[in-house]
Amino acid sequence: MGHTLLPKRIALPVFASDALSSVAYAPDEILLTLAAAGLAATMLSPWVGLAVVVVMATVIASYRQNVHAYPSGGGDYEVATVNLGPRAGLTVASALLVDYVLTVAVSVSAGARYASAAIPELRGHEVQLGLVIVLVLMLLNLRGVRESGTAFAVPVYLYMATIGVMAAVGLARWASGSLPQAVSSDLTLAPTLGYESGLAGMAGAFLVLRAFASGSTALTGVEAISNGVPAFKKPKSKNAATTLLLLGLISSTLVLSILFLARAAGVHYVEDPATQLLRNGVPVGDTYVQAPVISQLSEAIFSGFPWAFHLVAAVTGLILVLAANTAFNGFPVLGSILARDGWMPRQLHTRGDRLALSNGIVTLAGGAAVLIWAFNADVTLLIPLYTVGVFVSFSLSQLGMLRHWGRHLRTEPDRAVRARMKRSRVINAVGFAMTATVLVVVIVTKFLLGAWIAILAMVAVFTLMNGIHRHYDRVRKELALDADAPSARALPSRVHAIVLVSHLHRPTMRALAYARASRPSVLEAVTVGVDPEDVVALREQWESMDLPVPLKVLDSPFREITRPVLTYVRSIRRESPRDLVVVYVPEYVVGHWWEALLHNQSAIRLKSRLLFMRGVIVASVPWQLDASARAHAAAEQLDGRPVAGEARRGLTSASDPTTDGDA
């Protein structure tokens, strides 16, 4: 595990790619929302962006306190659980799990949109492209955290450098008065129904709030660093806090630069370009293809340098895809912690051969694939679902930190430490006030646009985790040893063994031999009389071989096999409740999967029913057919080949001293 820890230079692209990628669509969402009220409303976009940046700075400062106080990787879930109680922690966990799945769906869908804009042949195939991208990301992350981080570092840094250069060149050209206008600058905006008078009145204020809520998608992904503190190299908390600060500075600078340059270059971006964009007072129609804001900006800023425009488009599309990697690092860790605490299936706590939390990675990929398919990879439909969960976790986390500092201040005698705690409490108090306000704005402005779906999903996940926890509690109490209960120590009074017989052949003889070797109190062979002629033949063969086990025939007037056996076993249990009944079932072991369909079907049905009966044990007695022996020999040959992880665990022949003739 020590070799998989990440330095800051790798941790930044691994955990911050989601928040950094929002630079590619958060400005689009702000401009798209304000455009509903016409051209004058879009002039407010830099100020809306500034409000988003203020919230981001507050959240970053607040989370720097979190990573120092709770470095175990539980993040918001741990903060809320410890300070506000299990239900608050579970609320945070359900919000984060849903938001991680949405992160992958939104990022991959946006990446597919950029790819289809650059490559016309991909238009109409965004869903298929998105599903392929999710599959590739899943396979990369199954290779391990460090390997996937190294693979993603180069494109993320290339994206930051490219967008940074674009912003710097654009600001320089604006300062010199040589900034060209965007391709959409000569178009006018037609206000949508209800906003003909611009931003006047309550409708205008509501629209500005909605634009702010849409721009707040820039904050998604910030919490991933607090969940990923264990993956940092030591000192873990300090490195995580530094990475948070770098993330905040880079994201804030890029978002404000893009919004300012978009207004300076006259970029127009609307929800329905066919009707909202006008040329000489006439709608442009369905033939008009609207490019994303960054694409329009890069085309204007790098006019005369088409290779630079294509580079910006390529790295932007790539970062949108790789942004999903933040969720692939956050979701499995959170799922593992929830599984450890009994809220999620325990399989999510298991690490694979590459030390990745494989089951969590596969679960996340499956959930994101379903969303991409269900919403047709449409970013506009997915975005309203996006920010609710993350601000639920932000708000409860900051409230939990207030409780945390208050609890520790009551017992801390050192004045310097108390002063530091009070400063941290003020930061978290401001963070709570701001994130709670944004949460209310997001719910009010986006509820009917799709936020209700995210809330419903959180409720469903919350209910599911409660059910899982109740199940584990019930099983744990049922299995616990109780010294006062006589059933915990009492042995069965007798063992009643039953060997199921269909024909008298080698598997049956082996089952009889095993049953006799166990020396039960009662041993009998049981067959079901489906065909009278077969029963007569079996009796004659049984008697001719003089077998020392009595044969009992169960009547079956309706030619059933399972029900007569179950009825007979129940009768034994009723007569002697303290007896242990052991049912020996002869089974064939075949060599191919399709051969299994031809054998053992009655045995499988019978075993599945017997497993639910108290005081009954089912013993399978295998008989290996020749085909299974050949399959086993082939598997033995394959066992000689090295597999993933053997060298690291010292299991290859080259590392085994017993294979060395001189050892």
CB of 377 closer than 8 Å to CB of 90: no
Specify the pLDDT at position 657: 40
pLDDT(382) > 90: no
444-454 tens-digit pLDDT: 877 877 778 88
Specify the pLDDT at position 653: 43
**In angstroms, rounded to a whole number, what is the distance separating the alpha carbons of residues 149 and 605?**
48
Helix (H), strand (E), coil (C) string for 340-364: HCCCCCHHHHCCCCCCCCHHHHHHH
**In angstroms, rounded to a whole number, what is the distance separating the alpha carbons of residues 561 and 235?**
66
Q: What is the radius of gyration, based on Cα positions, of the chain?
A: 33
pLDDT(544) > 70: yes
pLDDT(227) > 90: no
Residue predicted with more confidence, 558 or 524: 524
Q: Give percent above pLDDT 90 in the chain.
A: 16
pTM of the model: 0.69
Average pLDDT (336-344) is 85
* Residue 376's pLDDT band (cuts 50, 70, 90): confident
176-226 tens-digit pLDDT: 988 899 888 888 888 777 676 666 667 778 888 888 887 887 787 777 777
Q: What is the DSSP string of 468-509?
A: HHHHHHHHHHHHS--TT-GGGTPPPS-EEEEEE-SS-SHHHH
**In angstroms, rounded to a whole number, what is the distance separating the alpha carbons of residues 651 and 67?**
38
Q: Give percent above pLDDT 70 in the chain.
A: 87
262-277 tens-digit pLDDT: 999 988 888 888 888 8
CB of 328 closer than 8 Å to CB of 367: no
pLDDT(658) > 60: no
Specify the pLDDT at position 567: 92
322-334 tens-digit pLDDT: 777 777 877 888 8
**In angstroms, rounded to a whole number, what is the distance separating the alpha carbons of residues 366 and 11?**
25
> What average pLDDT does the structure give for the chain?
82
Task: Tell me the angle at which helices 324-340 and 8-21 cross, rounded to the nearest 10 degrees.
Answer: 110
Going along the chain from its start, the domains and CATH numbers come out as 2-339+352-472 (1.20.1740.10), 487-624 (3.40.50)
